[in-house]
């Protein structure tokens, strides 16, 4: 008899359970509570979990050749890590033609993916971003928290690690790391276009690349396709300066590998920076003055031969032309090549010397 009662109860509850199941599914999201009371607690727990067992001296993992999406053949078992680089040029601080040096205020941005830093935002109150501190421009420093690529300025006057500010790296829930910081970019330039001084557009090539990791382990790419941006704030740009930034272009290049390791080429990024010089001060202060001195020297022929001021006027004009040329020479390197201004000064001095000899 008891068995019969149980069967009757089950028969009555079965339709009720079938009707209530969809309702429970709709109410389930309302019954779920956040695992942490505050955003700070969720961030603290997330940082602790991500950094537990994290080795900041090891490069992030990449695809194995047996995994889908791999681009490497059977010669090496892993794909290289892609690091995208971008430079935002804020303003030109100094262009020293004599020392072949440039001082640029730049924001450098590096982006890569570290799967060790990925997480599920639903487990941390929907937190989808977290920040990690990086000091001394490298993740291997004592106080840095995560790995960073050792992208360095190859034609450097000063290392990026010391000339750029320390800062936090932003990490998304999918492991994407975005590291941006401002600082001084101090390259040594092999200038092009100086032969047209002072009507020149100087060209300086900046070379960025990893100093330790070859192309076998790390590849460089251009951020957002071009890797270049200019300005970005109300204080960017130049005013009342000799040099202004005319244009910037970037390209990727790879140096061939050493014979001992044929897979280890060396990828770099070239930034071609073009500076526009203000030629007006040189025209006003040097070219016009030398033309006037030559006219004054030629005026000695209008004076009588027996006049003592004739020779003195021509000598004075020649000395003034030489003094003006010395000022221009101080702005240029001591090189065998001749600039347009130097050729003009030589012609001016020859004319002044002719006036002295004839006087």
Summarize the confidence of residues 335-347 as an average pLDDT: 87
Tokens 């680089």 — which residue? 85
Residue 336 has pLDDT above 90, yes or no: no
Residue 9 has pLDDT above 50, yes or no: no
In this predicted structure, what is the pLDDT of residue 295?
A: 82
The pTM of the full predicted model, rounded to 2 decimals, is: 0.82
In this predicted structure, what is the pLDDT of residue 104?
A: 97
CA distance 302 to 316: 16
pLDDT tens per residue across span 228-237: 999 988 999 8
pLDDT tens per residue across span 103-149: 999 999 999 999 999 999 999 999 999 999 998 777 677 889 999 99
Find out whether 115 and 175 touch, Cβ atoms under 8 Å. Answer: yes
pLDDT tens per residue across span 261-317: 888 899 999 999 999 999 999 998 888 888 888 787 777 777 776 666 777 777 877
In this predicted structure, what is the pLDDT of residue 139?
A: 66
In this predicted structure, what is the pLDDT of residue 127?
A: 94
In this predicted structure, what is the pLDDT of residue 308?
A: 67
Percent of the chain having pLDDT more than 70?
Answer: 84
Residue 16 has pLDDT above 60, yes or no: no
Which residue has better confidence, 32 or 306? 306
Find out whether 181 and 164 touch, Cβ atoms under 8 Å. Answer: yes
Summarize the confidence of residues 187-207 as an average pLDDT: 95
Q: Which of 18-32, 293-307, 316-330 has the lowest mean pLDDT?
A: 18-32
The mean pLDDT of the chain is: 84
In this predicted structure, what is the pLDDT of residue 288?
A: 87
pLDDT tens per residue across span 235-269: 998 888 999 999 999 999 999 998 888 888 999 99
Residue 153, CB half-sphere, CA atoms under 13 Å: how many?
Answer: 27
pLDDT tens per residue across span 33-66: 457 888 899 999 999 999 999 999 899 988 765 5
């Amino acid at each position: 008899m008891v068995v019969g009662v149980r069967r009757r109860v089950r028969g009555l509850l079965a339709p009720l359970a079938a009707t209530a199941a969809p309702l429970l599914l709709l109410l389930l999201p309302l019954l779920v509570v956040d695992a942490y009371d505050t955003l700070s607690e969720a961030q603290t727990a997330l940082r602790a979990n991500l950094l537990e067992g994290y080795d900041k001296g090891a490069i992030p993992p990449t695809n194995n050749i047996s995994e889908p999406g791999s681009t490497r053949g059977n010669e090496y078992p892993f794909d290289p890590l892609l690091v995208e680089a971008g430079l935002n040029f804020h303003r030109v601080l100094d262009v020293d033609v004599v020392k072949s040096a440039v001082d640029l205020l730049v924001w450098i941005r590096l982006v890569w993916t570290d799967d060790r830093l990925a997480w599920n935002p639903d487990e941390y109150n929907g937190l989808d971003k977290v920040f990690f501190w990086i000091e001394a421009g490298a993740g291997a420093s004592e106080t840095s928290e995560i790995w960073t690529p050792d992208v360095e300025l190859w034609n450097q006057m000063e290392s990026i690690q010391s000339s750029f500010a320390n800062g936090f790296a932003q990490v998304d829930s999918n492991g994407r790391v975005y590291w941006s910081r401002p600082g001084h970019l101090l390259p040594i330039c092999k200038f092009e276009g100086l032969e047209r001084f002072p009507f020149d557009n100087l060209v300086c090539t900046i070379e960025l690349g990893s100093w330790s990791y070859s192309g076998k382990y790390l590849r460089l790419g251009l951020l957002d396709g071009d890797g270049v941006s200019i300005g970005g704030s109300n204080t960017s740009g130049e005013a009342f300066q000799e040099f202004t930034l005319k244009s910037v272009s970037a390209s990727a290049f790879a140096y061939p590998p050493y014979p001992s390791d044929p897979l280890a080429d060396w990828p770099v990024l070239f930034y071609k920076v073009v500076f526009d010089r203000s030629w007006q001060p040189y025209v006003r202060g040097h070219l016009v003055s030398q033309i006037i001195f030559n006219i004054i020297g030629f005026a000695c022929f209008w004076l009588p031969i027996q006049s003592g001021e004739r020779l003195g006027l021509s000598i004075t004009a020649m000395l003034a032309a030489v003094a003006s040329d010395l000022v221009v020479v101080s702005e240029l390197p001591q090189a065998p090549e001749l600039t347009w201004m130097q050729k003009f000064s030589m012609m001016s001095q020859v004319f002044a010397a002719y006036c002295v000899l004839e006087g």
